[in-house]
């Protein structure tokens, strides 16, 4: 695939989309990506990584308000993917953890993803690995900076009014 420097961004986008469209076919993904929302998957991955968390920690990680996170965890609990564990010392303290079913599903998915990453990684030269890493870091940096600016615009400014 050769990109001409006169191609528009739209042409470049569609050229790559045509090459990667197979990634969007349902048979390329297991049920976890089709049966769960983005916030559910992010919550599951967070819990897989950290074992247990409270609602505030999950809420901050998925960048959602607590009421949204409660709904996410409720749905995951109904799907038998997470469980709520109440503290024996203080019943108000609730920790969320994965069920064994969720651990098995995530481990299976992780194995599949790791397989493809290893295949790609093995096919790259050392220079290509360095360049790819550099490009990924740059992409993340640009997107993070853009998202941070957008989030700052959303923060409402509090206007102080002097009362005499």
Q: Report, as an integer, the average pLDDT of 132-154.
A: 80
pLDDT in tens, 5-17: 667 888 888 888 7
pLDDT at 26 over 80: no
Band the pLDDT of 27: cuts 50, 70, 90: low
Residue scoring higher pLDDT (69 or 9): 69
pLDDT at 67 over 60: yes
Residue-range domain boundaries for the chain: 9-100
Band the pLDDT of 116: cuts 50, 70, 90: confident
* Domain 9-100 of CATH type 1.10.10.10: yes
pLDDT at 109 over 80: yes
pTM confidence score: 0.71
Q: Report, as an integer, the average pLDDT of 114-123.
A: 92
CA distance linking residue 60 with residue 69, whole number of Å: 9
CA distance linking residue 49 with residue 66, whole number of Å: 20
Count Cα neighbours of 117 within 13 Å in the Cβ-side half-sphere: 7
pLDDT in tens, 71-87: 999 999 999 999 999 98
Band the pLDDT of 164: cuts 50, 70, 90: low
Count Cα neighbours of 53 within 13 Å in the Cβ-side half-sphere: 23
């Amino acid at each position: 695939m050769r990109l001409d420097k006169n191609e528009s961004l739209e042409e470049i986008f569609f050229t790559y989309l045509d090459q990667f469209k197979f990634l969007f076919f349902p048979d390329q993904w297991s049920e976890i990506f089709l049966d769960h929302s983005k916030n559910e998957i992010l919550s599951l991955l967070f819990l897989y990584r950290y074992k247990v968390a409270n609602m505030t920690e999950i809420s901050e990680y998925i960048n959602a308000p607590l009421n949204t996170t409660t709904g996410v965890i409720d749905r995951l609990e109904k799907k038998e993917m997470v469980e709520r564990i109440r503290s024996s010392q203080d019943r108000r303290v609730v920790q969320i953890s994965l069920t064994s079913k969720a651990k098995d599903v995530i481990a299976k998915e992780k194995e599949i993803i790791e397989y493809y990453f290893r295949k790609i990684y093995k096919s790259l030269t050392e220079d290509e690995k360095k360049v790819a890493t550099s490009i990924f870091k740059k992409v993340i940096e640009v997107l993070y900076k853009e998202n941070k600016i957008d989030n700052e615009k959303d923060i409402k400014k509090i206007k102080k009014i002097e009362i005499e």
